[in-house]
Structure 1
Amino acid sequence: MRPLSRPSMSKARRARIWDRDGGVCYLCGVKVALEEDWDVEHRIPWALSFDDSDENLAVAHKAGCHAEKTKGDVKRIAKAKRQAGETGQQKRRREKGGSIPSRPFHKGQKRAWPKRKLR
């Protein structure tokens, strides 16, 4: 079963992941300086795997590397949802427990533009 939200990460867990990776960004391979902003990044996006284990987490530069990977992850997640058949409309329909009503066509309504004659 999918968890509703991710728990916040403790400082001890962040330190453990930093020590395991040696403070090296797994995306670019450059050592992250202590004064730089850095994140603990999911190697496989959480929205795809729901894996929050230490094996799926790694150190990444916050500004460049993590931000760029997240842009690509958003596209991959959207594609996976489309392939699974869960579009926004389908999700709303499932949550409501029924179909989304459509607007009926009005009979006898005149066109707003004249009908073109073929030559």
Structure 2
Amino acid sequence: MARKHFSRKERVRIFDLHRGRCHICDEKIQVGEAWELEHVVPWELTRDDSDDNVKPAHFSCHKVKTADDTAAIRKADRIRAKHIRAVPPSSFPGGKNSKWKRTLSGKVVLR
């Protein structure tokens, strides 16, 4: 599913719906100040573009929140991969389940 592109009309509607306030710092977004539409719950986790999840935010506030969201998204990806067993077992030489081990010199020997 591709991310939704918000038209100028939709951006203005959402801005007005939230009275022009940054939902992160709760300060008024001033005329001429850079702002973006921001997903409260990251889009990659929910695929939700509803008015409840998309709100205006200062460019600088959004940048900081996105950095935090990225870590949470990656953790959710790792948990899901582990849950569906998409992570391959450690069967390469030196892995926990292997009868082989790799020494510090790089030589592969039986355990």
Normalised by the length of structure 2, the TM-score is 0.73
Correspondent of 2:67 among 67, 71, 94: 71
Structure 2: distance between partners of 1:74 and 1:84: 15
SS in 1 for 2:36: strand
Structure 2: distance between partners of 1:65 and 1:73: 12
Moved over 3 A (4+): none
5+ residue gaps, structure 2: 94-103, 107-111
Percent of matched pairs sharing the same residue: 37
Greater fraction strand: 2
What number of residue pairs does the alignment pair up? Answer: 97
Deviations 1:44-72 (A, max 9, x none): 0000000011211001001x210000000
Structure 2: distance between partners of 1:71 and 1:50: 18
Structure with the greater alpha carbon radius of gyration: 1
1:38 corresponding residue in structure 2: 35
Q: Specify which structure has the bigger relative contact order, considering alpha-carbon pairs within 8 angstroms and separated by 6 or more residues.
A: 1
5+ residue gaps, structure 1: 94-101, 104-110, 114-119
